[in-house]
Amino acid sequence: MKALTQLQQNSRVVQDFTLTTLEALPGPFARLVHIASLRDLSTGRYEHAGLAVLYPDEAIQQALEMCHEQIFERILESPLEQQEEELKVCFEAMASGYRQTVEHWNRMEAFRVLIPEDAPGYLKELFCSNMRALLEVLQREHSTVHSDA
């Protein structure tokens, strides 16, 4: 009975988080960036002040971890062309600007913090490989566009 109650509570947290936070973000990469930003890199725990007022900490941890993993996996399941378009949308929405974000992510491999902690090694490698390739394409496209202008 306790497991069913926990599952129902986690489901409410996921629904609340999805409706109030994730739906407002422009695409899967923006959602992945946001949820990864909620994770404390030194502890691996997710922090969300709004959810903390409404739900127990363990329910929040489980629900956000599940959301993080699902978004990550959905991105990897999509074709690279789609990932490229969605990554562009994400970068265009960032305050630092498209070009600067592409350069920084390429140079620092900042995308590594987006990977869910418990993702299997092969998915981590696939994601990093995809990101390196996509960032190279985006950087070249941007250079070509500006050299043509």
Q: How many domains does the chain have?
A: 1
The string of pLDDT tens digits covering residues 74-123 is 999 999 999 999 999 999 999 998 999 999 999 999 999 999 999 999 99
Domain coverage including residue 13: 2-148
Report yes or no: 22 and 34 within 8 Å, Cβ to Cβ: yes
Q: What's this model's pTM, rounded to 2 decimal places? A: 0.90
Burial zone of 87 (CB within 10 Å; 0-12 exposed, 13-18 middle, 19+ buried): buried
Alpha carbon distance 64, 35 (integer Å): 7
Helix (H) or strand (E) run with residue 96 in it: none
